[in-house]
Chain A
Amino acid sequence: MITITHLDKHFDRLHVLKDISLNVKPGEVLVLCGPSGSGKTTLLRTINGLETIDSGTITVDGETVDPKSREIRRQRQGIGFVFQQFNLFPHLSVIDNITLAPRKLKGLTRDEAEARAMQLLDRVGLRDKRDVHTDTLSGGQQQRIAIARALAMEPPVLLFDEPTSALDPEMVGEVLSVIRELAQDGMTMLCVTHEMGFARDVASRIIFMADGRIVEDTSPGQFFSAPESARARAFLQDILGH
């Protein structure tokens, strides 16, 4: 579904992604973890062309992703992205946040788009919020709306960039449970997160990154019980050890 080969990327002189190769099959849930600055978020952003790459290739559904090509807009419609800071559109109501893209990009009528949006609001448990402005919602609610907004384009792939890092602890659960349900429905997902309990439950594979490289690509069972690298052991100790 997603194939990345020999990807390299620099921010000026900083070599942030080094020879990354990765293959994601349909229905797989990959959790990307690793110390901050390891390149997880940047890698995620290259997949839908929010970041350019210096060399290597990224293909999604057999098509090369290139932010400079004309195809990128259509390709991005098939790759949902959920941001750490939600990035809801504050000038629009909840329902308009969800229906804007399907109406403008897929040509759905308002009625069609809203009917579909209501199903999505049901799915994230926020049906009663349809007409409110996004700034009245809690962080957890905003993130669930952001997930509904991404789902509205019916993308085969969803990318999550630390979806719970900006949330108060008591709101993490509600967002993770939505993502968990999506995983159970067979959605292909890549998720950057520090929620290791969630990773253990939901991931089909754990991708552990450090210093711009993929250090481990393994099953959650293997990763949490017997990580191969010293970096991963140190990381797990830091994050779980206290």
Chain B
Amino acid sequence: MIEILQTYGMQLLIGGFPHTPLGGLALTVILAVSGLVLAMPVGLLMAVPLRSRFRPVKALAELIVFYIRSVPLLLHVLWVYFLMPAIIGVSFPPAITMLITLVLFNGAYISKIVVAGIDALPRGQTEAALSLGFGRVQTMRHIILPQALRNMLPSLVSQLSLLIKETALGAAIGATEATQTFLDLADNLPGQAIQVYALLALAYFALCYPLLLIGRRLERCVGKAQKIATEPAS
């Protein structure tokens, strides 16, 4: 395995760069990080119609989120890859297609986490804010979201570690991210597939493990805070 790393390490890290667009683990990291950064605000935005007081808006949002969550990610990737150019007449490179899909897909999941986090807060928090004269948006911003976000951090972190692993599906549409790069390498090194895939697994583990640790630590912090909050007052 060390031999493979010595010979092909650079290729696994950055793909064919600079002769081809950036690929390999670097592309995976870029996809994951930009996916994480974009999926969060998209999830928050998607949560707004989910909590709308207008029934049709809420129903439509529910339907869209339900659809996104009930169809395999691979299918979404293919839809975006093949259908979007047909509809809007612009085709994106595979990496961008992958990013768009990941952001929408994870946005849908995050929106559900956000809604659950908001609904879990006692109604009294909203009422206290309203009674002081805050409007609905201000109440959400100053009172509800800061508390809800803290409570949903563990779920968010676990969703984000899923997102990192989902970048692997880029291989299906030829995005030269880590999985695709390792697959190519396995083709070129007959008889060494096991070693190559073991390296690939290690690479994903190295990316996700820190998040896992953060998630575990957050869970403990939030758990502690909630314990205090729910202990009988007085």
Interface residues of A (CB under 8 A from B): 48, 50, 73-77, 79-81, 83, 85-91, 100-101, 104-105, 135, 138-140, 142, 146, 149-150, 153, 166-168, 171
CA distance A86 to B138 in the complex (A): 20
**6 nearest interchain CB pairs?**
A139-B234, A77-B133, A87-B128, A81-B131, A87-B124, A101-B132
Smallest CB separation, A116 vs chain B (Å): 14
Interface residues of B (CB under 8 A from A): 122, 124-125, 127-135, 138, 142-143, 146-147, 150, 225, 228-229, 231, 233-234
Q: Which residues of B contact A150 (CB under 8 A)?
A: 131-132
Q: Which residues of A contact B134 (CB under 8 A)?
A: 73, 101, 104-105
Q: Give 27 pairs: A residue, B residue, CB < 8 Å, sorted on A.
A: A48-B131, A50-B127, A73-B134, A74-B133, A75-B133, A76-B130, A76-B133, A77-B132, A77-B133, A81-B127, A83-B124, A83-B127, A87-B124, A87-B127, A87-B128, A88-B128, A89-B129, A89-B143, A90-B147, A90-B229, A104-B138, A135-B225, A138-B234, A149-B132, A153-B132, A153-B133, A167-B234
Q: Which of B122, B131, B142, B225 contacts A100 (CB 8 A)?
A: B142
Closest B residue by C-beta to A81: B131
Smallest CB separation, B56 vs chain A (Å): 19
Closest A residue by C-beta to B132: A101
B234 touches A140 (CB 8 A): yes
Smallest CB separation, A136 vs chain B (Å): 8
Smallest CB separation, B152 vs chain A (Å): 13
CA distance A65 to B129 in the complex (A): 17
A139 touches B233 (CB 8 A): yes
> Besides the contacts A89-B143, A91-B150, what 14 more A-B pairs have beta carbons closer than 8 Å?
A48-B131, A50-B130, A50-B131, A76-B131, A76-B133, A81-B127, A81-B128, A83-B124, A83-B131, A90-B147, A104-B142, A138-B233, A139-B233, A146-B128
Most buried by B among A73, A146, A150: A73
Smallest CB separation, A217 vs chain B (Å): 25
Closest A residue by C-beta to B126: A87
Most buried by A among B130, B133, B229: B133
A91-B147, A168-B234 known; A105-B132 Cβ under 8 A = yes
Closest B residue by C-beta to A78: B133
Q: Which residues of A contact B143 (CB under 8 A)?
A: 89
Smallest CB separation, A167 vs chain B (Å): 5
Closest B residue by C-beta to A171: B234
Q: Which residues of A contact B150 (CB under 8 A)?
A: 91
Q: Which residues of A contact B132 (CB under 8 A)?
A: 76-77, 100-101, 105, 149-150, 153
Closest B residue by C-beta to A74: B133
B135 touches A73 (CB 8 A): yes
CA distance A104 to B74 in the complex (A): 46
